[in-house]
Structure formats: structure tokens, C-alpha cells
């Protein structure tokens, strides 16, 4: 098992070693700078939303989610500056490359956990039949989220529960419901930069993928609380692009 994981990690690192330098060094003349920046920012948003989806579906637990999200934020923070949401070509491509690199690693791990057979790596179990996967179906996930929503009606002060509900709605594409959940959550945890950012994101999705208006105001509050919040900087860059 250990040998397999080590080899797989080395192969992934080698593959990224070939891919990422190409992405970082790649510059195409004549392409509109703002469009490149917008693509990079969209990649970042998608990675955060994929993490929310994995958490809601049970593919990863809360600890793995927090670790992956923190790692993504830390790596992106190296290329996102508080006073410059829209970056030059090189920095923008580095951002895209880092996001893709994280996506490859998380995606590979998630797919193996979801589709693979870790027990098959144990020689003592090689002849044993693999057990059938019992991952939750989409319907089961929806029922679970609905039960959580019902339970929270009698527990309005359960901040952790409301956070899980908001992220679950977001992962399911129910952005209006997610917005309502975040609005309630912020009455329990006011001024939290990350919650304000997540709220702005889903509210923008709910109003047709547009961050103008209230979402942009929420982002301004988020950056006032945490000027280095990577997600808030990325979304503010998107909002700036939308105003062009």
C-alpha cells in the first residue's frame, strides 16, 4: 500500500513537473489581458465550489476539506495581491497553473477514493471479492440536506449546521437557498471574511452569475475584514471585469 501511494505520488509530481512550467511560461500575444485574468479567476472559483460539492457528497470529510481549502488559498495567495485583483499575464497564468495542479492532486485522490479499491492493494486480500461501493446517490444527498434544513428550523443558533446547509445548497446548485442560509449564518457569525465571501459568491450565482450590487458590497466588507482573502480578491477581480 505504502509503496503504491509513494509511486503514485511521484508519478503525479513528475507529470505536474512537465505540465505546470509549460502553463506558467505560456504567453500568447494579442490575447486580451482582461479575458485571461477572467479565466484564471473562474478556475479559482470552480475549485472552491468543487471542494464544497465533495464535502456535501461525503467524498471528503471536514478535516480533509479544511486542509484542501487552506492549501488552495495559501498557494493562490502567492499570486493574488490585495491592490491588484487583475494580474499581468505571468501571474495570472501562475494562478491558473497552481489551481490546475491542486485540482489534479485532489481530483486523483477523490477519484481513487470514490472508484478505486484500496483493499485490493493488500496482498492478503488480493483474492477476496471487492465490496460494492455504498456512496450516497444524488437522491439520498438531497434527502439528507432536506432533513438538515428541517432540523435547523428548531435550532436557529446552530452555526455549524447552518454552514453545512449553506455549503450543501451551493454544491447542489441551489444558490438562492444557499444565499438565504448564508444570510442567516452571518447573523450568528457577523463580520467573518470567508462567510461574507462565500455569501457574495452564491448570491452572484443566484442573480445570473453577476457580482454587481449586493455581492460586490459583501466582498468589500470581506476585504475590509481580511485584505488578503484569496477568494474575495478573485471575486472582486471578477466584479471589476464585469464592469468593463
Residues of the chain with CATH 1.25.40.10: 138-242
pTM strictly above 0.85:
no
Query: What are the grid coordinates assigned to 154, written together?
Result: 428548531
> Which phi and psi (to 5°) does residue 153 adopt?
-65, -30
**Burial (CB count within 10 angstroms: exposed 0-12, middle 13-18, buried 19+), residue 80:** buried
CB 236, CB 36: distance < 8 Å: no
> Residue holding cell 505504502?
2
Other CB atoms within a 10 A radius of the CB of residue 222 amount to: 26
Q: Which CATH superfamily is domain 138-242 in?
A: Tetratricopeptide repeat domain (1.25.40.10)
Cα–chain-centroid distance for residue 229?
14
Per residue of the chain (244 residues), what is the pLDDT tens digit? 555 555 555 556 565 555 555 555 544 444 455 555 555 566 666 777 777 777 777 777 778 877 877 776 766 555 554 444 444 444 455 555 555 555 555 555 555 555 555 555 555 544 444 444 445 577 888 899 999 999 999 999 999 999 999 999 999 999 999 999 999 999 999 999 999 999 999 999 999 999 999 999 999 999 999 999 999 999 999 998 888 8
Q: Which helix (H) or strand (E) holds 127?
A: none
CB 23, CB 99: distance < 8 Å: no
> Which phi and psi (to 5°) does residue 84 adopt?
-145, 75
CB 209, CB 42: distance < 8 Å: no
- Provide the greatest CA pair distance for the chain: 62
Amino acid at each position: 500500500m505504502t509503496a503504491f501511494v509513494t509511486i503514485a505520488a511521484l508519478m503525479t509530481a513528475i507529470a505536474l513537473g512537465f505540465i505546470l512550467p509549460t502553463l506558467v511560461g505560456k504567453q500568447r500575444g494579442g490575447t486580451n489581458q482582461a479575458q485571461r485574468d477572467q479565466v484564471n479567476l473562474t478556475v479559482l472559483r470552480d475549485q472552491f465550489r468543487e471542494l464544497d460539492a465533495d464535502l456535501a457528497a461525503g467524498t471528503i470529510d471536514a478535516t480533509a476539506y479544511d486542509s484542501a481549502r487552506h492549501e488552495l488559498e495559501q498557494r493562490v495567495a502567492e499570486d493574488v495581491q490585495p491592490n491588484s485583483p487583475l494580474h499581468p499575464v505571468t501571474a495570472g497564468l501562475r494562478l491558473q497553473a497552481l489551481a490546475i495542479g491542486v485540482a489534479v492532486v485532489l481530483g486523483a485522490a477523490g477519484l481513487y477514493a470514490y472508484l478505486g479499491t484500496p483493499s485490493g492493494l493488500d496482498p492478503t486480500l488480493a483474492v477476496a471479492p471487492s465490496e460494492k461501493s455504498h456512496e450516497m446517490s444524488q437522491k439520498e444527498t438531497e434527502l439528507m440536506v432536506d432533513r438538515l434544513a428541517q432540523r435547523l428550523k428548531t435550532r436557529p443558533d446552530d452555526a455549524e449546521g447552518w454552514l453545512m446547509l449553506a455549503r450543501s445548497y451551493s454544491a447542489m446548485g441551489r444558490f438562492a437557498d444557499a444565499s438565504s442560509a448564508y444570510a442567516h449564518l452571518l447573523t450568528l457569525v457577523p463580520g467573518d471574511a470567508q462567510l461574507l465571501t462565500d455569501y457574495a459568491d452564491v448570491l452572484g450565482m443566484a442573480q445570473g452569475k453577476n457580482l454587481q450590487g449586493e455581492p460586490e458590497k459583501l466582498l468589500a466588507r470581506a476585504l475590509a475584514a481580511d485584505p488578503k482573502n484569496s477568494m474575495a480578491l478573485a471575486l472582486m477581480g471578477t466584479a471589476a471585469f464585469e464592469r468593463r
